[in-house]
Amino acid sequence: MKELTTLLDRIGQRANINLRDLDFDVPSHIRNLVPLDQMVKFYAFYGITPHHPLDFHFRHSSLAGSYFLGKCRAVNSILYKSDIRGDELKQKGHVFRHKDFEIPILMDEGIEIEDSFLIKTLVHNFSHDPKTLERFFIKDTVSAHYANIHGSPCDGCFLGPLATVDLTTMHDSVIGAFSYVQTGEIAHLNVGPGTVWIRSPGEFNFLYHHPLHKLDDYVSFSAGRTPQGFIVDFVEDRKESFQKVFDVVNIEPSVPVPRSASLDRYAVIKPKTQIGENVLVAQRAYLQNASLGKGSNAQENCYIVNSRLSGNNVTAHGAKIIESDLEPNVFVGFNSFLRGRPDCRLTIGRDSIVLPHTIIDIRKPLAVPSEHFVWGLINNQHDLMSNSMAFNDFSKIDSELVQGNLVFEGQGASFVSAFRERIHHILEANGAFFDGTANRGHAQRNQRISFNTIQPYPDGDLEGLYPTIIIKP
């Protein structure tokens, strides 16, 4: 395990160099996060379909428990139970449209991970940056448990547990635990824990801060300690179910799956779960007594327990829905945590949008009206009044709104429009609108995916590392 230890030290030092201006010590934060002997206990695996490029290159890296799809490269990196999802990589010959520009794609886009340590992280390539169209890079970067790197090239960065960076090119920055950033581009910033920051320059700026004295009960993180809090415990309490799924070579679906739907072989499906037409259930999703209506999806690291999703519902990466009823077209954002209880269920009305990293945790019944934004931390009706607003009212904002811990500047109508367009894209890409012939998406294309496993060195100086592996068609 000598080489693996050396590699971890190298990654910590390189990230530290990039973050030196922020006085952030990466080695102290990654120490003991994952015991290195874990790296030999899990195989890595990759998917093959007729619809995605087959192009993998792994060198001097540990890939324990990680999944790869599309064109991916990992060099001098440690990836522990991460998902590197390259199913929306741009292909040679396509044209990328950005504002008034039409930019031809000259070569197949690839995900390139170098000198980085990703722990239980979801990487999705939906790229946004016209400057790096053919290269989606993650370099000199560390991400802790259940972080999301979505369409966001990163260079010299640190993401805390349950942090999300979305459609944002990031340089030399720190994203605190349970923070969400979608701002286009940032550099040399330290974003504190519990921040929700959504910005489109010239149009709007949405900035919310979770009250830290309450957030610590759900997620907390400090140097030298593993992530703590109820959300982390909720996931850890169910990890044994995933172990059983990964231990079995061949596994048949435990529930009926319509021909137009896709249930990933590495998802956990508990009893009394129902899957509707055009539904997508991604790897590492967890469904228990869950009903997913037509066109709904449960993305990576999502948990849906004792809940009903009526149809065309989006459960974004890492979101958790417990003892809740969602009417059609509800969007639940990244890493949100929605918890009703058996005797006081949470109801969310048609077309409403739960913004990323929202916590709703109730002990009395609560109903979110239709066509509302919801954000922040909500425990009761009073909190809901402070942390929600109807779309019509939000659209009327044309300068500034200060409401509780939220400060919004700009055009509310642009904010509403941007989210509606984004949700439509997600549903379209996932195949929610498939009519039997047209509008295929991931739910239809992933039905015939095959998985192949690869293994690390079992002992010696190279224990835990993988040999150089190049996989081509």
| pLDDT tens-digit readout, 73-91 | 999 999 999 999 998 888 8
H/E stretch holding 95 reads strand 95-98
The predicted pLDDT at position 238 comes to: 96
Q: Which two tokens stand for residue 136?
A: 């989606």
Burial 14-50, CB ≥16 within 10 A → b, else e? bbbebbeeeebbbeebbeebbebeebbebbbbbbebe
| DSSP 8-state symbol, 131 | G
Ordered domains of the chain (ranges, CATH): 2-229+450-471 (2.160.10.10), 238-446 (2.160.10.10)
The predicted pLDDT at position 133 comes to: 78
| DSSP 8-state symbol, 350 | T
The predicted pLDDT at position 25 comes to: 96
8 A C-beta contact, residue 456 and residue 63: yes
Distance CA 76, CA 56 (A): 15
CA atoms within 13 A on the CB side of 2: 2
| DSSP 8-state symbol, 135 | E
Give bridge partners of residue 117 from the DSSP assignment. Answer: 78, 142
Residue 134 confidence (pLDDT) above 90: no
The predicted pLDDT at position 419 comes to: 96
Of 191, 134, 156, 119, which Cα lies nearest the Cα of 16?
156
- Among 242-246, 305-309, 345-349, the range scoring the smallest mean pLDDT is 242-246
The pTM for the full model equals: 0.96
Mean pLDDT within 273-296: 97
Residue 65 confidence (pLDDT) above 80: yes
Distances in Å between the Cα of 314 and the Cα atoms of 274, 294, 307, 424, 446 are 16, 11, 14, 10, 18
- Which pLDDT tens digit goes with each residue over 232-277? 999 999 999 999 888 887 777 889 999 999 999 999 999 899 999 9
The more confidently predicted of residues 127 and 214 is 214
Mean pLDDT within 289-304: 98
The predicted pLDDT at position 370 comes to: 98
| E strand spans, 12-61 | 44-48, 55-59
